[in-house]
Amino acid sequence: MVDQTPTSKDRVKWLERVRQVAWSGLIALALVIPAFLDPVDQIGWLVEANIVSQPASGEIVFVGADEDLADPQNPVARERLANLLDRLDNAGVEEVYVNILYDKDSSAEADETLNSALRDFSGRAYLVRFLEKSLNGEPVLRENQPRIANGVPEVALDAFRNYLGYVWYMPFAVADGDKDVATIPASIAGVTGDSNEIFAVEYSYDLASIPTYRFSDLLKPNANLDALSGKRVLIGQSISLRREAPSLPGQGTVSDSMIAIYAAETLMSGHPRYISGLLMLLATLAFLLLACPIRNRILRSAAIGAITVTVLLAPLIGPQLGLRISFAYGLAAIVSYGFFRARTKWVRDLLLVDPETDLPTFAALEADKDVANHVPAVIVARIHRFEEVRRTLPAELHGDYLLAITARLKAATQDATIYLGPGHLISWTMKEKDPALLREHLEGLRALFASPLTVGAEQVDVGITFGIDITPSPNVGRRLAGAIAAAEKTNETFEPICIADMASQEDLIWNISLQARIDAALDNGEIYLAFQPKVMVQTGEMIGAEALVRWKDPVKGHIPPDYFIRQCEIAGRMSQLTKFVLGAACKAGKDFEDAGLHLPIAVNISATLLHERSIVSMVSRVLEETGFDPRRLTLEITETYRISNLDLAAEILGELKALGTKISMDDFGVGAASLEALLKLPFSELKIDRMFIAPMTNDPKALGIVKSVLQLGRDLRIIVVAEGVEDTGTLTLLRDSGCVVAQGFAISRPITFDRIIEYHRHSQDEPLRDMV
Q: pLDDT of 542-573, one tens digit each?
A: 999 999 999 888 877 888 888 788 777 766 77
Q: Are residues 379 and 479 in the same domain?
A: yes
Asked if residue 139 is part of any domain, the answer here is yes
- Number of domains the chain is built from: 4
Bridge partners of 463?
384
Q: Are residues 146 and 263 in the same domain?
A: yes
What pLDDT shows up at residue 555? 79
Q: Are residues 62 and 14 in the same domain?
A: no
pLDDT per position as a tens digit, 18-62: 898 999 888 888 877 666 667 777 777 677 677 777 889 999 999
Domain boundary among 507, 542, 559: 507
Q: Are residues 300 and 178 in the same domain?
A: no
H helix intervals, 91-153: 108-119, 146-149
Bridge partners of 380?
427, 467
CATH value at residue 457: 3.30.70.270
Question: What is the Cα–Cα distance from 573 to 551, expressed in whole angstroms?
Answer: 15
Task: State the virtual CA torsion across 478, 479, 482, 486 in degrees, nearest 10.
Answer: -160
What pLDDT shows up at residue 77? 92
Q: Are residues 264 and 279 in the same domain?
A: no
H helix intervals, 659-749: 674-680, 690-693, 700-716, 728-737
Q: Are residues 337 and 369 in the same domain?
A: no
What pLDDT shows up at residue 39? 74
**Mean pLDDT, range 415-433, rounded to an integer:** 85
pLDDT per position as a tens digit, 159-180: 777 777 788 888 999 988 888 9
Q: Are residues 465 and 583 in the same domain?
A: no
What pLDDT shows up at residue 512? 62
- Cβ–Cβ < 8 Å for 470, 499: yes
Q: Are residues 279 and 305 in the same domain?
A: yes
Helix (H) or strand (E) holding 488: helix 476-488
- pLDDT over threshold 90, residue 514: no
Decide which of 136 and 380 is more confident: 380
- Residue numbers of the domain that contains 184: 58-268
Q: What are the Cα distances from residue 600, in Å, to 109, 533, 623, 652? A: 111, 10, 14, 22
pLDDT per position as a tens digit, 207-256: 889 999 999 999 998 888 989 999 999 999 887 555 567 878 877 778 88
CATH value at residue 539: 3.20.20.450
Asked if residue 770 is part of any domain, the answer here is no
Asked if residue 18 is part of any domain, the answer here is yes
Q: Are residues 17 and 105 in the same domain?
A: no
Bridge partners of 464?
383
Can you tell me whether residue 181 is helix, strand or coil? strand
Helix (H) or strand (E) holding 338: helix 328-350
What pLDDT shows up at residue 354? 75
What pLDDT shows up at residue 235? 94
The mean-pLDDT minimum among 135-144, 425-434, 490-499 falls in 135-144
Question: What is the Cα–Cα distance from 592 to 207, expressed in whole angstroms?
Answer: 90
Closest CA to 422 of 473, 383, 471: 383
What pLDDT shows up at residue 252? 77
**Mean pLDDT, range 324-345, rounded to an integer:** 84
Domain boundary among 472, 487, 507: 507
Amino acid at position 156, single letter: A
Q: Are residues 403 and 374 in the same domain?
A: yes
**Mean pLDDT, range 339-360, rounded to an integer:** 75
What pLDDT shows up at residue 1? 32
Backbone phi, then psi, for 321, in 5-degree steps? -105, 5
Using CB atoms within 10 Å of the CB of residue 373, give its burial: 0 to 12 exposed, 13 to 18 middle, 19+ buried: exposed
Q: Which residues contact 201 (CB under 8 A, 6 or more apart)?
A: 167, 168, 169, 170, 259, 262, 263, 266
Average pLDDT, the chain: 85
- pLDDT over threshold 60, residue 12: yes
Asked if residue 710 is part of any domain, the answer here is no
Asked if residue 699 is part of any domain, the answer here is no
pLDDT per position as a tens digit, 439-470: 888 888 888 888 888 887 788 888 899 999 98
What pLDDT shows up at residue 6? 39
Model confidence at 772, pLDDT cuts 50, 70, 90, reads very low
Model confidence at 671, pLDDT cuts 50, 70, 90, reads low
Domain boundary among 306, 324, 350: 350
**Mean pLDDT, range 691-706, rounded to an integer:** 91
Question: What is the Cα–Cα distance from 546 to 554, expressed in whole angstroms?
Answer: 25
Q: Are residues 221 and 167 in the same domain?
A: yes
Asked if residue 733 is part of any domain, the answer here is no
- pLDDT over threshold 60, residue 597: yes
- Cβ–Cβ < 8 Å for 526, 514: no
Asked if residue 407 is part of any domain, the answer here is yes
Would you report the helix, strand and coil content of the chain in percent, each value rounded to 5? 50, 20, 30
Sign of the alpha-carbon dihedral angle for 106, 108, 110, 113: positive
Model confidence at 767, pLDDT cuts 50, 70, 90, reads very low
Asked if residue 653 is part of any domain, the answer here is yes
Q: Are residues 324 and 421 in the same domain?
A: no
Decide which of 314 and 601 is more confident: 601
